[in-house]
Chain A
């Protein structure tokens, strides 16, 4: 596996990314690359800037400096339409990310309409079957679905445009463990079938180790350490902070 920096043609390249909101500097000189078909994890505590990185990548946050390149194309602050077709995002909270008064069909038809893609009927049907939603759910509202089903709708909505990159912001942290397992399996299978590239943001080290080949630990807006999943599983991070995060994730210890 190629490590960052040695990667000749990364799918995603981030260099010296800086983001500030007013006086607070939330992402500081962050650089990393993601290879084609790779699944890359970003872990850190709340406020570490991990979600902000995803928001910059997805074009939701226009205020940043540095270089962001997707498929070797340097991205402007305002992305073009083709970008949104190639890069899609799945959000943390399936209760908040679906419009309560729109059916599953509406949610999936909208991105197609925006991009002027015909054949909506077939594409929606296919996206739904890919994420394992029965066709009978097509005209249901979000409140008629369980949390896991809603997250499947959110994934289907991202997939319906046939993107090559999925940005996943804590996609399973609002779900029960049994449902989490189903959604993670689904994401794994989709990545293999469609050769997708993932960036997965999570606070759960076990989930990141399961899903990703490499991961970046962030703290206070900086990349503290980049390591492979094997290094994590071997409990062998080099920095004190990554080690501390790992120890904390192993559960409570009585002194």
Chain B
């Protein structure tokens, strides 16, 4: 795309490391990850513990104590995030770079209505009256395909279904109109049909608003069908980066990393029924 060549890429990461200093030693959650993000759908896949969520959190400066983020380069549109002070970083967070978490049950405030929480997200970043914020929130709820926004606005998180809760979270993150959205397993708690509706919303945002999307997932099929590029992570390292379409491409198998092939191999497949599923043999050399 022209835009991204004219200006800086949305996000540049070089040699990102996330370390946790614990009494029993240093746990390296992310070990030397590099990528750039343009106005695209970038998938990060991996199993639990591969560091994919920590990567998202590191970008937002949300790594909990005692975690430590280091990188040779971490920039948002050319601005250095590593040397930026906490206040400036906080301004960026939510307004320009935002994150949708996996589970709406644990990420929404249980004692406030969902509408209130969306309106709050708007007023934190924009000077607006309560009334205007409410109008905006209602419009946003409609944009994420909620049928009766006025009714849903007044509901508490326990009164909405999982799919609706996830849409509320997305509405809350998008109301500030961020450039980058990090979606951490945004649909894994949802039914397949609802999942596709949510993906459609995210997809439209990328294509229409030119947002950059980092889509963190463990679902290879989904990433392959939804994203432009995919990073496969294992043990805090990128095993490989490839165009998403190549994940399913049989002719590209020879080029694939053994870990990627292993992951693909242990999925049950409607078209290739097998008596027993392949299991994954992990090679310590992958992390060397």
Contact = CB atoms under 8 A, between A and B. Distances in A.
Interface of A: 45-47, 147, 176-178, 180-182, 184-185, 188-189, 203-207, 209-211, 229, 232-233, 235, 244-245, 248-254
A182 B161 CA distance: 32
7 contacts: A177-B266, A185-B276, A209-B273, A210-B273, A233-B270, A248-B192, A248-B195
A176 B221 CA distance: 14
B142 interface: no
Interface string B189-204: 0011111100110010
B226 A251 contact: yes
Nearest to B264: A177
Contacts of A203: 191-192
A252 B227 CA distance: 9
A178 B162 contact: no
Interface string B257-280: 000001100111111011111111
Given A178-B47, A245-B192, A253 B225 contact: yes
A46 B48 contact: no
Given A177-B266, A251-B221, A45 B192 contact: yes
A182 B276 CA distance: 9
Contacts of B47: 176-178
A180 B265 CA distance: 12
A188 B276 contact: yes
B48 A184 contact: no
Nearest to A207: B268
Nearest to B187: A252
B266 A181 contact: yes
Interface of chain A: mostly helix, strand, loop or mixed: helix
B191 A251 contact: no
Interface of B: 47-48, 161-162, 191-196, 199-200, 203, 218, 220-222, 224-226, 262-263, 266-271, 273-280
A9 B139 CA distance: 58
A177 B218 contact: yes
Contacts of B280: 178, 181
B279 A233 contact: no
A235 B161 CA distance: 30
A45 B195 CA distance: 11
Contact of B226 (A47, A185, A206, A252): A252
B190 to A, nearest CB: 8
Given A206-B269, A233-B273, A177 B193 contact: no
B47 to A, nearest CB: 4
A244 B193 contact: yes
Contact of B218 (A45, A176, A232, A253): A176
Contacts of B268: 181, 184, 204, 206-207, 209-211
Contacts of B203: 252, 254
A248 B196 contact: yes
Contacts of B277: 181, 184-185, 210
Given A251-B221, A252-B225, A206 B270 contact: yes
B212 to A, nearest CB: 18
A151 to B, nearest CB: 13
Contacts of B226: 251-252
Nearest to B224: A251
B193 to A, nearest CB: 5
B21 to A, nearest CB: 21
Contact of B191 (A45, A177, A188, A253): A45
A248 B195 CA distance: 9
B265 to A, nearest CB: 8
B225 A178 contact: no
Contacts of A147: 48
A-B complex: 8 closest residue pairs judged by Cβ atoms: A251-B225, A181-B266, A210-B268, A178-B280, A181-B277, A45-B191, A248-B192, A176-B47
B279 A178 contact: yes
A252 B199 contact: yes
Contact of A205 (B194, B195, B267, B270): B270
A219 to B, nearest CB: 11
Nearest to B189: A46
B270 A178 contact: no
A233 B268 CA distance: 11
B222 A46 contact: no
Contacts of A185: 276-277, 279
A47 B273 CA distance: 29
Given A210-B274, A248-B192, A253-B225, 17 more contacts: A45-B191, A45-B192, A45-B193, A46-B162, A147-B48, A177-B47, A178-B279, A181-B268, A181-B277, A182-B279, A188-B276, A206-B268, A206-B270, A209-B270, A209-B273, A210-B273, A252-B200
A177 B263 contact: yes
